[in-house]
């Protein structure tokens, strides 16, 4: 191991990046799900689906 500080900072950066990515993906997924749900309610597709 070269430097413990370097690997630790890399780990923290990787963790923060992964967490931010998951948050962004989650927001997009929830947003698109809500849009599709609202469109389905308008068209009355939910009765056929469930």
Higher pLDDT, 43 or 35: 35
Residue 32 — pLDDT band, cuts 50, 70, 90? confident
Q: Domain spans of the chain?
A: 24-50
Residue 34 — pLDDT band, cuts 50, 70, 90? confident
Q: Which two tokens stand for residue 12?
A: 């923290």
The per-residue pLDDT for 41 is 72
Could you tell me which of 22, 24, 41 has the C-alpha nearest to residue 49? 41
Average pLDDT, the chain: 79
Average pLDDT rounded to a whole number, residues 2-22: 85
Residue position matching structure tokens 């900072």: 9
Could you tell me which of 7, 26, 8, 29 has the C-alpha nearest to residue 18? 26
The per-residue pLDDT for 16 is 93
- Taking a C-beta distance cutoff of 8 angstroms, is the pair 26, 20 a contact? no
């Amino acid at each position: 191991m070269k430097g413990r500080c370097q690997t630790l900072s890399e780990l923290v950066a990787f963790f923060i990046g992964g967490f931010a990515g998951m948050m962004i993906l989650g927001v997009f997924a929830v947003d698109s799900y809500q849009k599709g749900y609202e469109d389905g309610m308008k068209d009355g597709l939910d009765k056929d689906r469930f």
